Structure 1
Amino acid sequence: MIRTWISSLMLACAVVVSSPVLTAQAKDLPDFTELAEKQGPAVVNISITSVVHGAGTIGFPGMPNDEALQEFLRRFGIPGMPGAPGQEGGQDYKSQSLGSGFIISSDGFILTNAHVVSEADEVLVKLYDKREFKAKIIGADKRTDVALIKIEATGLPKVTIGDPNALKVGEWVAAIGSPFGLENTMTAGIVSAKGRALPQENYVPFIQTDVAINPGNSGGPLFNLRGEVVGVNSQIYSKSGGSMGLSFSIPIDVAIDISNQLKATGKISRGWLGIAIQEITKELAESFGMKNTNGALVAGVEKNSPADKGGLEAGDVILKFDSKPINTSSDLPRAVAATKPGKVVPVDVLRKNAVKTLQIGVGEIPTEQNEAPVASKETAKPEANKVGLTLRELTPQQKKKLNGKNGLLVIESTGAAAQAGIRRGDVILGLNNSESQSVELFNKQINAVSAGKTVAVLVQRGENTLYVPIKVGK
């Protein structure tokens, strides 16, 4: 008893002594209460209903109608699930999902993600005050994952738009949304990185944060401490389906530009060059004689595209576009897309160790890209060259599919070429900055390369072209 009482007394004293320190630490932490009170009413919950035709029904009695669980079972082909193998021709069913959004004008315009509403047959918006409205989809842009919807209401609370360019890494930010349907949930964290490029996402310089974002948060706002929206929560990196501290938001200036175009015309107009690009690795930089890896490497130019008409060639390295430095390949699509179609811009390129400036008229990005040719397979096998490539010249029909380009079909890939990633069926278009006119010329060029040096081989695979660095052996 005495020992317990003494321990309790010592603990009480420790609390008293340390409390000023705790108070001082608390003063240094951000206070989100005012932000929640003022901005929470402008955040909405979005319920989406989609009718899936000819699908099966839920496979297990009593299983909850949970979107994440259903998607998991669909992907792994669990029998009895809608969309699973063998379920074609079943009954129609209604799929329901949840998302978030925020009001950008008092007359009912709301921003959210395109993936939240793109497949919706009905969109229901629930406000902070519990009122519900059916929403009309004004437009959605899948390339940036931004959508604009509208409800018939006036006098609504709206968010204040901030400047995402003023954000600093390490700055506190907060999200409000409806994770797992829990309305007006606030989570907080810091900006982890800016201008983040993600695979298959060429038009958005994402804001990366460690804010807890979960299913249902999609389309909700990301706030700075001044209560201004700086981003639209869009994606998470997760192995479990829940938050792992890697969330990505669309900068609000990108989202507002998209929403303004959707509101005005119902469609998006973007600049377009008609090229395939890739990142410059150290190996590719070495093969091109470059001192660094800055720029975007042109791996292919579409025939009759703005780039083709402006003089761009495969093997060019774009260093500047419209006077803006291109430090990485991901910088270029954003710069081009943000350019008004029809504008003529200067493009600085590195070509065969010399910098030259081209004047290129930017086109408008097509709604659908033409499919690029796929190389056919041949059976005869000529001898392999120094890097392990067995090649054959293209037939006239194959050249026609390549819009008249010269190329060499890969019959077999072994040795250094296979290690570099070149596969059977690829088409070799060029070596470094030279076009591949014939198997004999290509092999002669390869044989002239000193052992230990790296060459850049331009490859067409399906609809994509890319440079593959190959280290030449003895």
Structure 2
Amino acid sequence: MRNILYLSLVIILSVPAAQVSAKPVSGLPDFTQLIDQTSPAVVKISTVTRVSRNPQVMPYGQQIPEIFRHLLEPRQMPRKDMHSMGSGFFISEDGYLLTNNHVVDGADQISVRLVDRREFDAVVVGVDPRSDLALLKVDEEGLPFLTLADSDKLKIGEWVVAIGSPFGLEFSASAGIVSAMGRSIPTEQNENYVPFIQTDVAINPGNSGGPLFNLDGEVVGVNSQIYTKSGGSIGLSFAIPSNTAKNVIAQLKDKGRVDRGWLGVVIQEVDRDLAQSFGLDKPGGALVAQLEPGGPADNAGLQVGDIILKFNGTAIMASGDLPHAVGSTAPGDKVSMLIVRKGKEKTLKVEVGTLAGDQGRIASSGSSSLGGRLGVVVENVDDRMKSSWKIDGGVVVRDVSTDGPAAKAGVVPGDVIVQIGYEDIADVSQYESIVKDLPTDTLIPIRFFREGRPTFRTIMLEK
């Protein structure tokens, strides 16, 4: 990924414009008041991930009687704890806080510490890997919090400030300017939905998840990545815009996942030669190289070889601008596209589709940070598995918390849960509804399939 490294923690502070400002002194801004008034809302995040060896499957299969089979099934090996850290900041007085997804990804335990040395345990409300954001919650009221600014008003050359814990040096402040806006940085999955803010602020490992401030003490971004060949800052840092964060926060609070607009196209950059061949006077736009059959773009009449110049009123200067524009559009919206086809401009109407969010990564409030009350991450069973295993539904276990109720019952990744208590499980939605109402301190039967073979166990949720 072009040497883009994820940071483990950054903290940046911000307060309302009416309360905080950085006044120029001898031609340069003075950040002392800004840092003093915003730092109480910044937190250091520490995580613990429990790692165990992969269980070994014994090759006896159905030759072993059922009464002995449980003795030979995979067991969790002795585990070790892996510790990491990052930054975050409170966005409301009732304990909601924001950080990077990669700071808490896979964590079994999350704790946050304020500058006044108070510490709280945190749970995951929801995560959005596509934007690398995570919404956490602590059980406390009356907390200091920061204000999210309108990042669209940010200008190249503006002063910005970050506060974080680079290399474990807690609550360190650094400053610089905005170097560029709308940077496209594809992820390892070649997804590109964040128009990053580029700065020359000194951001290092340990700064991830912290706020980036303007001179009014408002949060304009969430520090996320750096470009480096040395492992430290070389003046190329990237932050997720606050407007992107606002959309993600609202959706995670509302439904625990983030759905984005989807067009159903494969695009490429338009260079000088392509621009000339398609009748453009200069390079620009996004060239459609492939269409998803039956997708929104296909249904709207878009064709391979069309060049998208505007989407929903947003100019597409480069191909990377299109995913930003489409992803920020609400699914179901009907918008216009300005295209060039065979050298002539044309306007099309398209109903934006849905790029569904990751629903399996939600953790319930008051539960372990991995997989809700049972300590598992699940997803729907596909039709191929239903046919092969001759089941009507269920949920596939993708990850298991090593000390959760499911692990204690012997559930491992790859199992398909089809019944809890006396209720059959059809899909993820029904699974979540049933698990939500399970009693505590009571043995509950759970039925699951492993490699096509059904088995019953008991599971107990502790208070």
Aligned partner of 1:132 in structure 2 is: 119
1:30 CA displacement: 1.2
Structure 2 counterpart SS, 1:241 = coil
* Distance (Å, rounded) in 2 between the aligned partners of 1:160 and 1:49: 29
1:314 CA drift (Å): 1.1
d(CA) in 2 for partners of 1:271, 1:265: 16
Q: Where do residues 353-392 of structure 1 align in structure 2 (5 Å cutoff)? A: 353-366=343-356
In 2, are the aligned partners of 1:50 and 1:121 still within 8 Å (CA)?
A: yes
Change (3 A) 1:94 1:102: same
1:21-40 maps to which residues of 2 (within 5 A)?
A: 27-40=26-39
Corresponding residue number in structure 2 for 1:180: 167
- Aligned partner (choices 310, 324, 345) of residue 334 of structure 1: 324
Say which SS state the counterpart of residue 36 (structure 1) adopts. helix
8 Å Cα contact 1:98/1:180 also seen in 2: no
Residue 190 of structure 2 is aligned to residue 191 of structure 1: no
Amino acid across the alignment from 2:247: D
* Residue aligned with 1:186, SS: strand
* Mapped contact 2:257–2:357 kept (Cα < 8 A): no
Give the Cα–Cα distance (whole angstroms) in 2 for the partners of residues 173 and 185 of structure 1. 14
Structure in which a larger fraction of residues adopt helix? 1
Q: Distance in 1 between matches of 2:150 and 2:311?
A: 24
1:145 deviation in Å?
A: 0.8
CA drift of 1:92 comes to 2.8
For 1:14-25, list aligned pairs within 5 A: none
* Partner Cα distance (2:126, 2:264) in 1: 25
Query: Is the CA contact 1:306–1:362 (under 8 Å) kept in the aligned structure 2?
Result: yes
CA shift for structure 1 position 367: 5.3
Task: Provide the rounded CA distance (Å) in 2 between the counterparts of 1:277 and 1:91.
Answer: 48
How far apart are residue 26 of structure 1 and its match? 5.4
1:168 Cα deviation after fit? 1.9
Specify the alignment match of 1:41 in structure 2.
40
- Equivalent of 2:95, from 103, 108, 121? 108
Which residue in 2 is equivalent to 1:411? none
Q: How does 1:122-271 map to 2 (within 5 A)?
A: 122-200=109-187, 202-271=192-261
Count of paired positions:
312
In structure 2, how many angstroms separate the alpha carbons of the residues matched to 1:254 and 1:301? 27
Aligned partner of residue 202 in structure 1, secondary structure: coil
Tell me the CA shift for residue 366 of structure 1: 4.2
DSSP-derived class of the 1:203 partner: coil
Tell me which amino acid in the other structure corresponds to 1:356: K
In structure 1, give the amino acid aligned to 2:40.
P
Q: Which residue of 1 aligns with 2:286?
A: 296
- Runs of 4 or more off by more than 4 Å in structure 1? none
Match of 1:465 in 2: none
Q: Give the Cα–Cα distance (whole angstroms) in 2 for the partners of residues 199 and 261 of structure 1.
A: 22
| Larger RCO: 1 or 2 (CA < 8 Å, sep 6+) | 2
**Offset of 1:237 from its aligned partner?**
0.5
For residue 306 of structure 2, the aligned residue among 316, 325, 349 is 316
Q: CA deviation at 1:268?
A: 0.7
Shift of 1:160: 2.2
Partner SS, residue 262 of structure 1: helix
Q: Please list the CA deviations of residues 185-233 of structure 1 after superposition, one character each: whole Å capped at 9, or x if unmatched.
A: 1111111111111233521111111111111100000011111111100
CA distance in 2: counterparts of 1:135 and 1:246, whole angstroms: 31
Gaps of 5+ in 2: 1-23, 55-75, 359-463
Residue 67 (structure 1) aligns with: none
2:259 partner SS:
coil
Unaligned runs of 5+ in 1: 1-24, 56-88, 369-474
Aligned match of 2:393: none
CA contact (8 A) 1:140 1:148 kept: yes
Deviations 1:379-419 (A, max 9, x none): xxxxxxxxxxxxxxxxxxxxxxxxxxxxxxxxxxxxxxxxx
SS of aligned partner of 1:286:
helix
Q: Which residue of 2 aligns with 1:94?
A: 81
What is aligned with 1:54?
53
- Tell me the TM-score normalized by structure 2: 0.65
Listed one character per residue, the Cα deviations across residues 13-67 of structure 1 (whole Å, up to 9, x for unaligned) are xxxxxxxxxxxx9521111110111001110000011122217xxxxxxxxxxxx
Paired with 1:215 and 1:304, the residues of 2 have a C-alpha distance of: 44
User: Are the equivalent residues in 1 in contact too, given 2:258–2:356 (CA < 8 A)?
Assistant: no
CA contact (8 A) 2:260 2:357 kept: no
* Deviation (angstroms), 1:287: 2.6
2:306 partner letter:
D
User: Matches of 1:366 and 1:226 in 2, distance apart?
Assistant: 36
Structure 1 CA distance for aligned equivalents of residues 106 and 261 of structure 2? 27
1:275 and 1:300 in contact (8 A); partners too:
yes
1:94 is matched by which residue type in structure 2? D
1:131 Cα offset (Å): 1.4
What is residue 423 of structure 2 aligned with on the other side? none
Where does residue 3 of structure 1 map in the other structure? Answer: none
> Could you tell me the percent identity over the aligned residues?
56
Larger Rg: 1
The TM-score with structure 1 as length reference comes to: 0.63
> Is the CA contact (8 Å cut-off) linking 1:224 and 1:230 kept in structure 2?
yes
Alpha-carbon offset, residue 161 of structure 1: 2.1
Give the residue type in structure 2 aligned to 1:34: Q
